[in-house]
């Protein structure tokens, strides 16, 4: 089977308001999560890595961060923070899990926790523009120098965003590698084991580079 | 010859510059017009000073125009500005008439340019009425609000909302500032130009020269707040914090700032600050001209700790500038300062002069933490708040506007055979 080159893409995100009123309390958060667009759920769980943020946040999802910082509810933050959105096939399934956690927590607290003035939860979503970088990877060893030089936008698009886009939820590198069989398929298998959700984009890039170096220790040539 | 953006490759990375050019390739020859109210003073003029050449560098025909007005017009726009920041204001009939008249004159002068532009960015309330006065246009119009308008007054917003509603989209520095409107509202944090006179590296002799010029003692720690003399920047609160610190530590304070040409209140606030500091040799109140960028740069670099104790703040570019110079920041717990200052990481957020004094004392007693937090602050700015990220988001928005603002847009870079950008549905 003829496998063509891997076309490297990049993407740029810009955040926009999701058209949902901000939540000031836990009960309001629950009500808004129930009706917010799935694009907003996706944004607050999965697109946090590509927004300006300090270092590695304690929690990956904005809901967990808000529970910790604004509601000062550590238990809720932990329960929300452990939700991995990639465990669910559908964003509606993810929504149901988040609502379960919120309902369960609300049932156990005597009051409706409130955020301070100015600390409301704002529902956002992103507009993503994907563009071709004109870079093509012709061979499997060529992945190593190419990934080494990739922008965070390219890493995000080909590894994280890809899982929302491809039918089997694979990253783009694996989708390209698997049909090639042999060592290429082995690399794809190893890539699938990287727990990317809890890594920053730079850490993810380093893991990919380390993995590829273990297969191509002497080669940096395309 | 090195192009405008190539100069940033060493700081931001060549891949980042390449990405910007890739985005820019979609706009070859298209015109974007920016309109604001002043070319000197204030954060908006500073942003436009680098945004124009960088947009031109990626292929856009970028133009910068300003709206002009009389004293009553600027009274009105200052009232709108204060009102958007939460102050109760009264907009008189004569003020509203002066506002409309200034916008009408600008619409007559700029009409042909604005009607034919592919994109128009209107910055802040001053020229906001242009969209309504200009009639049918070819391009997309964006209202860019640089103000912290989370608690906007009803009077100001009642006047502005119908004007803003007519735009295709609006942009705010933080989600907290975005009002509910019918059009798409985007969030773009501002940024700094690391190579501008205000931020470029300086020789030790240049910093020492400014120390000598303003009679600053090199042997004592220096606290610096750089900002317009504006009540929302709380300069009197900074003096109070400084005096609390001085009880325990020999420090000196610089309050440096100028006045924007659209801010008639500046002189009143400056006078109040001068009165508060009168007779105190350790407090240096410096009213600097709008082009004193090198002096500001040197003062920030001479500082041990940067202060920005604002009670309201749009984004707080002086915070970003201070952090870029490797200094921790004691910042007011307001607006965009909260996006930049993280306790024990890049400085401290404070709510009161007492809180500011406590945090300043903590840092002065732990000089190693001043260095560590300063280093982290600089890296944080490099990753998030340099003009390259800002430009990328502006270009992304323009591309989105031209392609229908859907969640995901697949842009095909124009080739020799196909000069048009296309939108396709995601797989």
A86: containing domain: 19-122
**CA end-to-end span of chain A, whole Å?**
21
Q: Which of A120-134, B318-332, B409-423 has the lowest mean pLDDT?
A: B409-423
Beta strand B305-308 pairing with B283-287: unpaired
Question: For residue B83, what are its two tokens?
Answer: 């009102």
pLDDT tens digits for range B144-181 = 999 888 889 999 999 999 999 999 999 998 898 999 99
- CB contact A202 to B (< 8 Å): no
Work out the minimum CA distance from B330 to partner chain A, whole angstroms: 17
pLDDT score for A119: 83
Do A152 and A211 have their domain in common? yes
Distance, CA of B157 to CA of B82 (rounded, Å):
11
Class of domain B204-384: alpha beta
CB-based burial label for B149 (10 Å; 0-12, 13-18, 19+): buried
Strand partners, B222: B252
Do A140 and A196 have their domain in common? yes
pLDDT score for B316: 87
pLDDT score for B299: 98
Between B176, B380, B383, which is nearest A118 by CB?
Answer: B176
pLDDT score for A116: 80
Q: How confident is residue A118, by pLDDT bands cut at 50, 70 and 90?
A: confident
Between A122, A127, A132, which is nearest B176 by CB?
Answer: A122
pLDDT score for B16: 85
Do A71 and A141 have their domain in common? no
Do A115 and A149 have their domain in common? no
Question: For residue A69, what are its two tokens?
Answer: 């910082």
In this predicted structure, the answer to whether residue B412 has a pLDDT above a threshold of 90 is no
pLDDT score for B416: 44
pLDDT tens digits for range B47-80 = 898 899 999 999 999 999 999 999 999 999 999 9
Q: Which of A166-175, B29-38, B237-246, B412-421 has the lowest mean pLDDT?
A: B412-421
User: What does each C-alpha distance from B34 to B45, B122, B141, B181 come to in angstroms?
Assistant: 11, 6, 10, 22
CB contact under 8 A, B407 and A15: no
pLDDT score for A57: 65
pLDDT score for A206: 94
pLDDT score for A58: 73
In this predicted structure, the answer to whether residue B391 has a pLDDT above a threshold of 70 is yes
Do A88 and A164 have their domain in common? no
Chain A residues in contact with B408 (beta carbon < 8 A): 127-128, 130
pLDDT tens digits for range B103-125 = 999 999 999 999 999 999 999 99
- Give me the mean pLDDT over the B288-303 stretch: 94
Place of tokens 């836990």: A26
pLDDT score for B184: 95
Within B70-153, where are the H helices?
Answer: 71-84, 93-116, 130-133
pLDDT score for B203: 97
In this predicted structure, the answer to whether residue B301 has a pLDDT above a threshold of 90 is yes
Work out the minimum CA distance from B179 to partner chain A, whole angstroms: 10
**Does residue A220 lie in a domain region?**
no
Q: How confident is residue B425, by pLDDT bands cut at 50, 70 and 90?
A: very low
Give the phi and the psi of residue A154 in degrees, each rounded to 5.
-70, -45
pLDDT score for B413: 54
Of B48, B37, B154, B145, the closest CA to residue B91 belongs to B154
pLDDT tens digits for range A9-67 = 988 899 999 999 999 999 999 999 999 999 999 999 998 887 766 555 678 899 998 99
Helical pair A201-215 and A182-192, crossing angle rounded to 10 deg: 150
Query: Which one of B24, B86, B186, B339 would you mutate to disrupt binding with A, by most A Cβ within 10 Å of its Cβ?
Result: B186
Contacts of A2 by beta carbon, 8 Å cutoff, 6+ apart = none
pLDDT score for B263: 64
Distance, CA of B318 to CA of B191 (rounded, Å):
10
Chain A residues in contact with B346 (beta carbon < 8 A): 54
Angle, CA A197 vertex, CA A194 and CA A200 arms, to 5°: 95
- Superfamily covering domain B5-191+386-402: Glycogen Phosphorylase B; (3.40.50.2000)
Domain count, chain A: 2
Do A135 and A210 have their domain in common? yes
Question: For residue B190, what are its two tokens?
Answer: 């501002």
Give the phi and the psi of residue A130 in degrees, each rounded to 5.
-105, 135
Of B325, B373, B368, the closest CA to residue B347 belongs to B373
Q: How confident is residue B187, by pLDDT bands cut at 50, 70 and 90?
A: very high
Distance, CA of B334 to CA of B351 (rounded, Å):
8
**Does residue A222 lie in a domain region?**
no
pLDDT score for B296: 96
Please give the mean pLDDT across all residues of chain A: 89
Distance, CA of A172 to CA of A187 (rounded, Å):
13
Do A110 and A134 have their domain in common? no
- Give me the mean pLDDT over the A207-213 stretch: 96
Domain residue ranges in chain B: 5-191+386-402, 204-384
Chain A residues in contact with B22 (beta carbon < 8 A): 10, 131-134
Distance, CA of B90 to CA of B95 (rounded, Å):
9
Distance, CA of A158 to CA of A175 (rounded, Å):
10
pLDDT score for B405: 85
The Cβ of residue B313 has, within 10 Å, a number of other Cβ atoms equal to 27
Place of tokens 């304690």: A58
Question: For residue A166, what are its two tokens?
Answer: 């491809």
* Domain final residue pick, A75, A93, A122: A122
Strand partners, B62: B32
CB contact under 8 A, B178 and A53: no
Residues A175 and A191: beta-carbon distance below 8 Å:
no
* Domain final residue pick, A122, A144, A175: A122
Do A168 and A114 have their domain in common? no
pLDDT tens digits for range A71-108 = 989 999 999 999 999 888 889 999 999 999 999 999 99
Whole-number percent of chain B with pLDDT over 90: 72
**Does residue A82 lie in a domain region?**
yes
Residues B200 and B229: beta-carbon distance below 8 Å:
no
Work out the minimum CA distance from A74 to partner chain B, whole angstroms: 18
Q: How confident is residue B417, by pLDDT bands cut at 50, 70 and 90?
A: very low
Chain A residues in contact with B426 (beta carbon < 8 A): 165
**Does residue A105 lie in a domain region?**
yes
Do A204 and A137 have their domain in common? yes
Give the phi and the psi of residue A101 in degrees, each rounded to 5.
-60, -45
Do A92 and A61 have their domain in common? yes
Distance, CA of B48 to CA of B99 (rounded, Å):
23
Contacts of A100 by beta carbon, 8 Å cutoff, 6+ apart = none
* Domain final residue pick, A122, A149, A171: A122
CB-based burial label for B71 (10 Å; 0-12, 13-18, 19+): exposed
Do A50 and A93 have their domain in common? yes
Length of chain A: 222
Task: Name the closest residue on chain A to residue B380, using Cα atoms.
Answer: A54
- Edge-to-edge strands of the sheet including B222-226? B283-287, B252-257, B222-226, B305-308, B329-332, B347-350
Do A134 and A117 have their domain in common? no
The whole-model pTM stands at 0.83
């Amino acid at each position: 089977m003829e496998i063509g080159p891997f076309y490297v893409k990049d993407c740029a995100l810009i955040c926009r308001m999701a058209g949902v009123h901000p939540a000031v309390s836990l009960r309001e958060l629950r009500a808004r999560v129930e009706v917010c667009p799935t694009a907003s759920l996706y944004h607050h769980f999965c697109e946090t890595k590509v927004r300006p943020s300090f270092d590695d946040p304690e929690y990956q999802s904005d809901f967990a961060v808000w529970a910790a910082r604004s509601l000062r509810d550590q238990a809720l933050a932990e329960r929300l923070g452990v939700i991995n959105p990639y465990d669910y096939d559908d964003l509606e399934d993810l929504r149901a899990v988040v609502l379960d956690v919120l309902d369960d927590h609300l049932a156990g607290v005597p009051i409706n926790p409130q955020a301070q003035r100015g600390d409301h939860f704002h529902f956002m979503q992103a507009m993503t523009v994907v563009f071709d970088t004109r870079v093509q990877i012709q061979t499997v060893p060529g992945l190593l120098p190419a990934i080494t030089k990739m922008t965070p936008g390219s890493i995000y698009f080909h590894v994280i965003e890809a899982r929302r886009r491809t039918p089997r939820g694979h990253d783009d590198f694996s989708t390209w590698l698997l049909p090639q069989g042999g060592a290429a398929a082995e690399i794809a298998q190893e890539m699938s084991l990287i727990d990317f959700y809890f890594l920053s984009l730079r850490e993810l890039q380093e893991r990919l580079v380390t993995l590829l170096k273990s297969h191509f220790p002497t080669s940096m040539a395309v | 010859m090195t192009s405008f953006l190539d100069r940033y490759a060493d700081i931001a990375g060549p891949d980042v510059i390449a990405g910007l050019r890739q985005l820019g390739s979609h706009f070859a020859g298209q015109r974007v017009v920016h309109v604001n109210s002043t070319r000197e003073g204030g954060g908006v003029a500073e942003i436009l000073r680098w945004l124009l050449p960088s947009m031109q560098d990626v292929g856009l025909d970028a133009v910068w125009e300003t709206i002009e007005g009389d004293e009553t017009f600027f009274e009105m726009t200052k009232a709108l500005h204060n009102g958007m920041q939460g102050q109760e204001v009264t907009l008189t009939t004569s003020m509203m008439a002066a506002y409309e008249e200034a916008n009408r004159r600008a619409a007559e002068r700029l009409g042909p340019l604005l009607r034919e532009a592919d994109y128009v960015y209107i910055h802040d309330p001053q020229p906001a009425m242009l969209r309504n006065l200009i009639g049918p246009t070819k391009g997309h119009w964006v209202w860019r609000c640089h103000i912290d308008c989370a608690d906007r007054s009803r009077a100001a917003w009642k006047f502005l909302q119908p004007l803003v509603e007519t735009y295709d989209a609006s942009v705010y520095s933080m989600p907290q500032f975005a009002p509910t409107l019918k059009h798409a509202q985007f969030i773009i944090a501002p940024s700094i130009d690391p190579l501008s006179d205000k931020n470029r590296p300086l020789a030790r002799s240049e910093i020492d020269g400014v120390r000598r010029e303003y009679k600053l003692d090199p042997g004592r720690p220096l606290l610096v707040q750089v900002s317009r003399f504006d009540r929302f920047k709380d300069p009197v609160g900074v003096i109070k914090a400084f005096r609390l610190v001085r009880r325990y530590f020999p420090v000196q304070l610089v309050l440096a700032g100028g006045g924007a040409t659209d801010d008639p209140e500046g002189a009143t606030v400056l006078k109040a600050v001068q009165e508060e500091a009168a007779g105190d040799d350790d407090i240096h109140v410096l009213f600097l001209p709008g082009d004193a960028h090198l002096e500001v740069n040197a003062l920030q670099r001479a500082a041990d700790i940067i202060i920005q104790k604002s009670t309201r703040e749009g984004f707080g570019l002086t915070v970003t500038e201070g952090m870029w110079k490797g200094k921790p920041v004691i910042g007011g717990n307001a607006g965009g300062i909260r996006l930049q200052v993280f306790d024990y990481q890049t400085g401290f957020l404070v709510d009161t002069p007492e809180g500011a004094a406590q945090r300043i004392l903590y840092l002065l007693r732990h000089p190693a933490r001043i260095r560590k937090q300063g280093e982290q602050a600089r890296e944080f700015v490099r990753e998030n708040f340099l003009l390259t990220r800002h430009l990328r988001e502006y270009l992304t928005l323009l591309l989105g506007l031209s392609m229908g603002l859907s969640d995901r847009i697949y842009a095909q870079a124009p080739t020799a055979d196909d000069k048009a950008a296309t939108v396709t549905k995601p797989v």
